[in-house]
Structure 1
Amino acid sequence: MATEDLTTDEIGARLVGYAGQMAALTARFLELLAEFDRRGGWSGEGIISCAHWLSWRTGLAIRTAQDHLRIAHALPELPLLRKAFSEGRLSYSKVRALTRVATPEREEELLNVALSATASQVERLVRSIRNIDRHRDETERGTIDSSSSWSWNLDGSLSVTLRLSPLDGARFLAGVVRAEYERTRTAGDPDLPTEPAPDEEASGVAERPPGHPASADLWRNVPSDIAPAVVAMGDTMQTVITAPEFIPGAELVVHTHDDADPHLDDGPALEDADVDEAACGGAVRKVKHAKKRGGTRGVVLNYGRKRRMPTRKLMRVLFERDRCCQHPGCGRTRHLHAHHVTFWSQNGTTDPDNLILLCSAHHRALHRGEFAIKALGSQQFSFHRSDGSTIERAPAVHKPDGWKPDATIDDDAVLPINPGRHLDAGYATEVLYAAWAWKARQSDEVLAAA
Structure 2
Amino acid sequence: MAALTARFLELLAEFDRRGGWSGEGIMSCAHWLTWRTGLSIRTAQEHLRIAHALPELPLLRQAFTEGRLSYSKVRALTRVATPEREEELLNVALSATASQVERLVQSIRKVDRHKDESERSTIDSSSSWSWNFDGSLSVKLRLSPLDGARFLAGVVRAEYERTRAAGDPDLPTEPAPDEDAPDVTKKSPGHPGSADLWRNVPSDIAPAVVAMGDTMQSTISVPEFVPGAELVVHTHDDADPHLDDGPALEDADVDEAACGGAVRKVKHGKKRKGARGIVLNYGRKRRMPTRKVMRVLFERDRCCQHPGCGRTRHLHAHHVQFWSQDGPTNPDNLILLCSAHHRALHRGEFAIKAHGRQQFSFHRPDGSTIERAPAVHKPEGWQPDTAIDDAAVLPISPGRHLDAGYATEVLYAAWAWKARQSDADLAAA
Superposition TM-score, scaled by structure 2 size: 0.46
**Structure (1 or 2) with the larger CA radius of gyration:** 2
Superposition TM-score, scaled by structure 1 size: 0.44
